[in-house]
């Protein structure tokens, strides 16, 4: 199952993610990284909600309800017992290898329930 650029727009993102993993064995989740340095700089210099090339909306017109970062999603995965099988970080058309919470514009994760590990070993 794929959830691309939508997690931050849902009212109950954790519930959506859990339902995806209940129905499918794995989920690909992609979201804009609100920890990107341009977003941080925009807030720092203007003192207002970020408005950048990646986030072109005014705060009152944005489809984004939740503002998450790479670090936020990784913490959620740990707390919810999700196994992160792969992660990709992008800035434009380039991949980001170092400091993804600061440098990535978009994060892509392949996740699954950790409980799958135990059930596969007992089969």
Long-range pairs for 74-79 at CB < 8 Å and ≥24 separation?
76/14, 77/109, 77/111
What's the predicted TM-score (pTM) here? 0.87
Strands 26-32 and 106-113: antiparallel
**Number of folded domains in the chain?**
1
Separation between Cα atoms, residue 71 and residue 37, nearest integer Å: 14
DSSP sequence for 95-106: E--S-HHHH-SE
Domain region containing 92: 2-122
Q: Check which CATH number belongs to the domain holding 90 and give it.
A: 3.40.50.150
Q: What is the pLDDT of residues 44-94, one digit of tens each?
A: 999 998 888 878 889 999 898 899 999 999 999 999 999 999 999 999 999
């Amino acid at each position: 199952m794929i959830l691309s650029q939508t997690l931050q727009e849902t009212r109950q993102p954790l519930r959506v993610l859990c339902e995806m993993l209940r129905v499918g064995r794995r989920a690909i989740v992609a979201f804009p990284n609100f920890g990107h340095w341009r977003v941080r700089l925009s807030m720092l210099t203007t003192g207002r909600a970020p408005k950048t090339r990646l986030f072109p909306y005014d705060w009152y017109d944005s489809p984004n309800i939740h503002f998450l970062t790479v670090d936020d999603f990784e913490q959620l995965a740990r707390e919810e017992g999700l196994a992160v099988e792969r992660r990709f970080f992008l800035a434009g058309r380039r991949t980001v290898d170092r400091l993804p919470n600061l440098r990535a514009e978009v994060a892509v994760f392949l996740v699954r329930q950790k409980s799958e590990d135990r059930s596969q070993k007992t089969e």
